[in-house]
Structure 1
Amino acid sequence: MQSWNNSGGSGFSIGPRALTPAIKNIIIANIVVFLFMNLLGSGIDIFVHYLGLNPELVLTRLMIWQPFTYMFLHGGAMHLFMNMLILWLFGTELEMLWGQREFYRFYFITGIGAGLFSVVPYFIGVLTQGASFAPVIIGASGAIYGILLAFALTWPNRTVYLYFIMPMKVKYLMLIMGIITFLSVGNQDGVSHLTHLGGLLVAWLYLRFHGNYQNLNFNLKQDFSRIIDKIKNIRFEQEGDQPTSSRPKQQGKNSGWHKVENSAVPNPDRTRSELDRLLDKINRVGYEQLSDAEKKRL
C-alpha cells in the first residue's frame, strides 16, 4: 500500500517524508530483536516461549509481560518488513499530529489490548470446557491495525494505492480489511485474525472515548453503513437469469442509454454479480479459500 498525501498546495508527495522519532525507535527495536532471534539458532524456541504471547502461560504462570513483548517478535523477514512498512507509511503523519509521547501511548495500548483480546477465548475455553487450545502469537500486527484505523478515522478521504496500483479511499480500504478480518476469525491459517480484530476494537475504543479524540470525524460509520445497505439491497442474478437493473429504460433514440456490445467498459450489473458471488463464497468457506484470481478481482 502506498499513501498519497495531498499537501493542500499545488503538488503532492508519495508517502511520508522522513522517519519520525517514535516510529524510528520502534522500527529499530523490532529489527534488533529480529536479528538477535536469528542469531540464537535452536534457542529461538525458548526465546519465543518466554517472550511470545501464549495465553496459557499468561493466565497460569502469570507471564504478564508477554502481551507487551510479543509485539517485537516476528516470524520472518517479510512479516517484519510489511509491519514496519505500514507503520512508516501510515504512522508518520499521526505522530506529527499527536506528538511522540501520545503516539507511543496509542501504539502500545493498542498492541497490548489486542494481545489481551486474544487471551479471552482461551480463558473462556478453560471456564466452559476445562481446557483450550492456545497458539503462541507474535508480531506487531495488532498495533499496526490500530494505526491503520486511526489514520482512516483522521483522514477518511485520503487516497491510498492498493498494491501501488489501485487508488482507493482509506476509509473503504479499512472497511474491506475489517470485513475480511472478521470473517477470517477462526481460520486455521497460521494468522491470528483475532489479534487483528482486537487491534481494531481497542483502537476504536481509545479514539472514541479518549478526551483528545472525541472531535474526530466519526461520520465514517455512516459511509460504511451506506455501503453495507447497498450490498444488502443488491438482488443478484441466478445462474442463467438476467440480473435486476435499476437503470432507466431507453426512452428513445436520443435518450443517451444504449447497449454496448463487446465493449471494454465495465458492466455494473456483472460487477455486482461477481461481488455477490465472492462475498457469498467468503461467508461460506472463508477468505483464504478464494483463488488468487478471485482475491485480485475482489
Structure 2
Amino acid sequence: MSIGQEIKQSFKQGSLHTKLIYVNIGVFLAVSIVNVIMLISGNRDYFSLLEWLQVPSYLPHLISTPWTLVTYMFTHENLFHILFNLLALYWFGQIFLRFFTQKQLLSTYLWGGLAGGILFVLAFNAIPLFVEMKYLSVMIGASASIMAITFAAATYAPNHTIYLLFFGEVRLKYIALVYLIIDLISIAGTNAGGHIAHLGGALAGYLIALKLKQNSTTNLGLGWVEGIFNVFSSERNKMKVVHKRNMSDMEYNATKVKRESNINDILDKINKTGYESLTKEEREELFKLGNKN
C-alpha cells in the first residue's frame, strides 16, 4: 500500500477529531505548495491561496468572500503556527471527548471559529483603536476554535485535573483562566485581532457547555457538517446489504439487551476511571456504537 493510500485509508477510518487535524494539515500543505510554485515561477507579485482563505476585517472584502469566515479556521501559514495549534487541538480535543461526543467536538470547533471571526470583524469596525487597521487586517488559524473546545470542557468539568510538566496536577478551570488572562492583556500587542478572536471562541465554548449541561445529547445545530467530513468515507461509498436474521425475536431481543448492558458498563467505567482505562475490546465496542449514531 502506498503512502497516499495509507493516508486516505486513515482519513476514512479516523474519527471526526482525527479528520479535523487532517483537514488543517491538508490546507496548510496546499497553501505552502501553491506559494512555492508561484514564487519559483519568478513572479514577485505571485498569487497566494491565502487571499481566498483568510478572513478580512474590511466589510466590503468580507461580503465578496463570505466563505472565509469558515476557511480561515482551517488555515495556517507557517510550520510553528500549525504545529502549536494542532498539538493544542489534539490535547484539548482528547479532554473534550471525555465528556462529549465526536459530533459535538466538530460543532464546537466550528461555532468557536465563527464566533472568533465575527468578533474580530466587529472589533475592527467598531473600536476606534482598530478602525484604521481594518483595511489591511486579516486573520487565519484554528486557535479561536481550540479556545472554544478548551472553555467548553473547562466550563462543563472545571475541577477535572490534568498533569502538566513542572506543575503537576492542575485543574482545567485554571488552565482556561490563564489563557483568558493572556489574551486580555495581549490585545494591546501586535496581534490584537487574533487575541480578540480567542475571546470570541472562549465565549462560544462557555455558552456551548451551558447548553450541553441542559441537554448532553444535542448536536449543537451543526449535525449536517458531519456529512461533509464523511463524504469520502468508505461506508458511504459502498452499497449496503441487509441480511435477514436467522434468530428468533426472543433471541434477538436478548442479544440487544446484553449489548446495551455492555455499553452502559463501559460508560460507567469511563465516568469512574476515564477513557484510558478501557480495554481494546471495550474501545472497539464503543467505536461501533458511535458509528451507529
Q: TM bucket by the smaller chain?
A: 0.5 to 0.7
The residue type paired with residue 29 of structure 1 is: V
Alignment of 1:109-258 (within 5 A): 109-124=111-126, 132-162=134-164, 164-167=165-168, 168-189=170-191, 192-208=194-210, 210=211, 212-214=212-214
The aligned counterpart of 2:105 is 103
Shift in CA distance, 45/112, structure 1 to aligned 2, threshold 3 Å: farther
**1:46 corresponds to:** 48
Q: Give the length in aligned residue pairs.
A: 194
Give the Cα–Cα distance (whole angstroms) in 1 for the partners of residues 53 and 112 of structure 2.
18
Which letter does structure 2 place at the counterpart of 1:149? F
* Structure-2 change in CA distance of 1:39 and 1:113 (3 Å): same
Question: Aligned-pair distance for 1:68?
Answer: 0.3
Alpha carbons of structure 1 residues 166 and 153: separation in structure 2 relative to 1, 3 Å: same
Matched, 1:67 2:69: yes
Contact 1:22 1:95 in 2 (8 A): no
Distance 1:46 1:102, change over 3 A: same
CA contact (8 A) 1:157 1:171 kept: yes
Cα gap change, 1:97 to 1:35, in 2 (>3 Å): same
- Partners of 1:57 and 1:88 in 2: CA distance: 33
| Cα distance in 2, alignment partners of residues 176 and 52 from structure 1 | 27
| Aligned-pair CA distance for 1:154 | 2.7
**In structure 2, what residue type is equivalent to 1:122?**
F
Asked whether the equivalents of residues 114 and 197 of structure 1 are also in contact (C-alpha less than 8 Å), the reply is yes
Contact 2:92 2:149 in 1 (8 A): yes
Query: Residue type matched to 1:74 in 2?
Result: H
Counterpart of 2:29 in structure 1: which amino acid?
L
Say which SS state the counterpart of residue 117 (structure 1) adopts. helix
Q: d(CA) in 2 for partners of 1:206 and 1:58?
A: 30
**Distance in 1 between residues matched to 2:90 and 2:133, nearest whole Å:** 40
SS class of match (2:64): coil
User: What is the alpha-carbon distance in structure 2 between the residues aligned to residue 122 and residue 53 of structure 1?
Assistant: 12
Give, in whole Å, the separation in 2 of the partners of 1:157 and 1:131: 40
Q: Offset of 1:47 from its aligned partner?
A: 1.0
Q: CA deviation at 1:52?
A: 0.6
Q: Which residue does 1:31 correspond to in 2?
A: 25
Deviations 1:153-194 (A, max 9, x none): 2332233344x2212222112112111211111311477111
Deviation of the 1:102 alpha carbon: 2.1
Question: Is the Cα contact below 8 Å between 2:76 and 2:140 reproduced in 1?
Answer: yes
When the two structures are superposed, what TM-score results if normalisation uses the length of structure 1?
0.58
Q: Structure 2 vs 1, CA of residues 188 and 22 (structure 1 numbering), >3 Å: closer, same or farther?
A: same
Larger deviation: 178-187 or 50-59? 50-59
Q: Report the 3-state secondary structure (helix = DSSP H, G, I; strand = E; otherwise coil) of the residue aligned with 1:106.
A: helix
**Displacement of 1:197:** 1.1
Q: Partners of 1:116 and 1:161 in 2: how far apart? A: 34
| 8 Å contact from structure 2 (residues 152, 208) kept in 1 | no
- What is the percent sequence identity of the aligned residues? 28
The residue type paired with residue 100 of structure 2 is: W
Cα deviations across residues 251-290 of structure 1 (Å, max 9, x unaligned)?
A: xxxxxxxxxxxxxxxxxxxxxxxxxxxxxxxxxxxxxxxx
Amino acid of the structure 2 residue aligned with 1:25: K
Deviation at 1:207, TM superposition (A): 2.4
Distance 1:130 1:83 in 2: 29
Aligned-partner Cα distance in 1 for 2:214–2:172 = 20
Change (3 A) 1:120 1:156: same
Q: CA 1:32–1:58 in 2, change beyond 3 Å: closer, same or farther?
A: farther
User: RMSD of the TM alignment (CA)?
Assistant: 2.9
